[in-house]
Structure 1
Amino acid sequence: MSKSNVIIGFLIGISTTIAGVFLFTTFFSDYSFEASLRDSITNDYFGKLIAIGAILNFLPFFVFMRKKQVFHARGILLACLVVAIAIAVVKIRNF
């Protein structure tokens, strides 16, 4: 049961990060979502955009901790770790 809860938390964490990136580019960019992503890749701030989107993970993490659903919260932390590794790979690739 705990492995499935971690997987559910991981999927929630990844989808929350994607939603955060989408919301940030929608509200704070003058261009479309696709154009904003292309611009962030060409101007080397794609990792920063992902990091800002990952801030939204605080909400489900603290909700799961408040409800004492520790394995869901571990999945959120695992998703944050995967996002951090992805940002590091993007930064190293652009170095």
Structure 2
Amino acid sequence: MKNKNIIIGIIVGLVCSIVGLILVLLFFGKGNSLNDSLDIAINQGVFTKLMSMGAILNLAAFFLFIKQNQDSKAQGVLIATVIVAIATLIIRFI
């Protein structure tokens, strides 16, 4: 049961990061569409910064799970945040 909750937390964390990235691209993107904004961000080298900003939604999910005493799911969100951070570092330095 605990492993299932951790996996749910990881999925919630990754989905929050993706939704956050989309929202950041919509608000701060310079293109006319989501794809244009994504292409511009990659070409200008700011994609990893936008990716990091998108992970801020994980804070809301993490504290929501903590408040509801669902520590295993909160642990999963924390793991997802670390996964996003490692992916950001890999993308940044490759």
- SS at 1:68 equivalent: coil
Q: Aligned-residue CA RMSD in angstroms?
A: 0.9
Any idea what the Cα deviations from partners look like across 1:52-71, whole Å, max 9, x if unmatched? 00011111100100111000
Residues 55 and 81 in structure 2, CA contact (< 8 A), matched pair in contact too? yes
Q: For the residues of structure 2 that align with 1:59 and 1:17, how far apart are their CA atoms?
A: 11
Q: Do residues 66 (structure 1) and 70 (structure 2) align?
A: no
Partner of 1:55: 56
- SS at 1:91 equivalent: helix
| Structure 2: gaps of 5 or more residues | none
* Percent of pairs with identical residues: 38
Any idea what the Cα deviations from partners look like across 1:23-79, whole Å, max 9, x if unmatched? 111123342111111111111111101000001111110010011100000000000
Q: Do residues 20 (structure 1) and 20 (structure 2) align?
A: yes
Residue-pair matches, total:
93
| Structure 1: gaps of 5 or more residues | none
TM, length-normalised to structure 1: 0.93
Matches within 5 A, 1:77-92: 77-92=78-93
Q: For the residues of structure 2 that align with 1:78 and 1:40, how far apart are their CA atoms?
A: 26
Q: For the residues of structure 2 that align with 1:55 and 1:85, how far apart are their CA atoms?
A: 15
Moved more, 23-32 or 42-51: 23-32
